[in-house]
Chain A
Amino acid sequence: MATAHTTVDAAGLSWGPRALIRRLRSGDEVARLITLLFALVVVLLTVLLVDQLWINSAEARHRFGLAFFWTRQWDPVFNQFGALPFIYGTLVTSALGLLIAVPLGLGAAIFLAELAPRRLSDNLTFLIDLLAAVPSVIYGLLGIFILVPLMRTEIQPALKRTLGFTPLFQGPAYGIGLLTAGLVLAVMIVPFIISVSREVLLAVPGEQREAALALGATRWEATWKAVVPYARTGIIGSIFLALARALGETMAVTMVIGNNPRISASLFGPGYSIAAVLANEFSEATGNLYLSALIELGLVLFLLTFVINGLARLLIFLTTSRGSLVHT
């Protein structure tokens, strides 16, 4: 808005009443007000959401205080509630998902944008966009019926044989657990990363490529050293979009994570995520404190996304300023 006004002013428009009427008539002012209203509605919704979560979690907040964040107990019978196992499960599964999805998604995006013939690229992109639209319960069902048996009989025993000396891959192989949930999440978020990253890579100006090639770089060197760094901001953006989906994913995760509020070092162990416990226990939660503790978990998830989004902004800010130094 501000920049639009300054350019208009620079063009020599006066701000008198006649000018205002003229601008109203031309529709600019009307459009400005309406879009401003829409923007405010979004802000208002967010504020209302936090406000409601804050009010309705009052009982649990007063009872447990900040200890809610590091208490490991979740016991509806004896009214002991703590968020730590759920925060742990949410972060571990999301991190696992990203760990697998980022290299995969970025690699695929580079192929589609830089190396593949245009027609192949367009067709594949269409399929990938379809993947992004599949409802999460379908991913959950595929997880239960195909991935879980495979994990139990093949993947987990193999991991145990090769990497079993680390605490990450120990314990009984149930098939379900943190690792499986991370894998399902990876499959779910990879289309976001590919789709957005491809668009960003395609938007990189051709000169960037040509300059690198003219300096004698190979095709891969031009892509990796000139094009990808230029598109870095957008790629990071796509990763955080994917992360946001992973943090809030409910259905697919609850179907394969094992739903046990335990903090196990082994990725084979069952876990629990915030979104999953909310979906599971909210409808049958009877006590006031129980309900309020569940709502506070919702607040914690909001806070978690807020902090992670903030970090993403910071990262983008830091890399852009460094990037611009490199490129100018």
Chain B
Amino acid sequence: MSMRKVLGFALLMVLAAAPAWAQNINAAGATFPYPIYSKWFDEYHKLHPTVQINYQSIGSGGGIRQLLDKTVDFGASDGPMTDEQLQQASVKVLHFPTVLGADVPSYNIPGVTGELKFTPEALAGIFLGKVTKWNDPAISGANPGVKLPAEDIVVVHRSDGSGTTYIWTDYLSKVSDEWRTKVGKNTSVNWPVGLGGKGNEGVAGLVKQTPNSIGYVELIYAVQNNIPYGSVKNATGEFVKPSLAGVSAAAAGAATSMPDDFRVSITNAPGKAAYPISSFTWLLIPAQIQDAAKKVAIKDFLGWMLTAGQQFCEPLAYAKLPKEVVAKEQKAIAMIQ
């Protein structure tokens, strides 16, 4: 290659790279996956210095609103968008599952050191305010040999709107008709009983301090802070201790019946090893992106996240996507135009 050609080629490269040089992509949404998202955007930026993805963890609701208002390039949410919200969007919005999360029942009963087992009926009963004593047969029936006190149960829930609450109430809605019709599922609900704590730390703090209490916290938070938690009976009748493997198993169990838009709840999923109070968290990507450079960058990021990006999940205590879901998502990337 002559010197001239080399120079010309170099110039071409610079020109080609120039428009992408200032490729700033803005995103906003869920707080729960923020640690892994910021890790991903950071690592991706190291590989592609021309692409900078700025993520604001303002909450799922805020992420959806900003996406609908078009103040961000894409959003992120712990709960899938509702049909009503999708209709409000001026362009079609695609859901891409990224990682998985789970809720665990955490309790504090003086004198009980072993791990408690919870049936769906017991959890629904406790949070509906119908099971009010720890020695109620609904609880003691699944825990033979554990001496449960005849004390009042103090229920603790999240006071701030959160994806954690969405998962918990989604699960209770599936296992209890009464919960579904009376309370329902949302990031905040009208709790029949209990005290509200702000954030995972608020709930965990209240449970730790209040004798005979029970609350729910995010699995990662419980693991990282050594908070004791119980196991839950899944759809196939097994008691499963919450773990990253159990969460991935729930996603794999749900993968076979996964709808094409990925808006699926995997609480109470089938599978012997599936932990039943699990959920995806999603990126919300517009199906049409006007800016060509942005479109290329976002599609490339999604492809990277589903493959090389997955290695960053487990060190941060997020459950990885099962390969069935990854394969399906890789096909969906082509839908972005």
Chain A contacts for B196, CB-based, 8 A: 258-260, 270, 272, 280
What's the least CB distance linking A319 to chain B, in Å? 40
In contact, B209 and A255 (Cβ under 8 angstroms):
no
We find that the number of chain B residues with CB closer than 8 angstroms to chain A is: 36
In contact, A284 and B162 (Cβ under 8 angstroms):
yes
* Interface-facing stretch out of A40-48, A74-82, A96-104: A74-82
Rounded to whole angstroms, the CA-CA distance of A286 and B183 in the bound complex is: 17
Rounded to whole angstroms, the CA-CA distance of A101 and B42 in the bound complex is: 50
Chain A, residue nearest B31 (CB): A283
Chain B contacts for A175, CB-based, 8 A: 209-210
Q: Is B131 an interface residue (CB 8 A)?
A: no
In contact, A77 and B183 (Cβ under 8 angstroms):
yes
- Which size bracket describes the interface of A in this complex? 20 to 34
From A149, A259, A285, A291, contact of B209 by CB (8 A): A149
In contact, B60 and A286 (Cβ under 8 angstroms):
yes
Q: Is B309 an interface residue (CB 8 A)?
A: no
Chain A contacts for B58, CB-based, 8 A: 283
Instruction: Given A174-B154, A254-B159, decide whether A284 and B184 contact each other with a Cβ distance below 8 A.
Output: no
What's the least CB distance linking B134 to chain A, in Å? 14
In contact, B159 and A176 (Cβ under 8 angstroms):
no
Chain A contacts for B163, CB-based, 8 A: 284
Which residues of chain B from 188 to 213 have a CB within 8 Å of any chain A CB?
188-191, 194-198, 202, 205-206, 209-210
Chain A contacts for B197, CB-based, 8 A: 259
Chain A contacts for B82, CB-based, 8 A: 286
In contact, A286 and B61 (Cβ under 8 angstroms):
yes
Chain A contacts for B209, CB-based, 8 A: 144, 148-149, 152, 175
Rounded to whole angstroms, the CA-CA distance of A282 and B195 in the bound complex is: 19
Chain B contacts for A73, CB-based, 8 A: 190
In contact, A281 and B160 (Cβ under 8 angstroms):
yes
From B61, B64, B194, contact of A260 by CB (8 A): B194
- Which residues in B have some Cβ–Cβ distance to A below 8 Å? 58-62, 64-65, 82, 84-85, 152, 154, 159-163, 183-191, 194-198, 202, 205-206, 209-210
21 contacting pairs across A/B (C-beta < 8 A): A74-B190, A75-B189, A75-B190, A77-B184, A77-B186, A149-B209, A175-B209, A254-B159, A254-B198, A259-B196, A260-B196, A270-B195, A270-B196, A280-B160, A283-B62, A284-B59, A284-B60, A284-B62, A286-B61, A286-B65, A291-B65
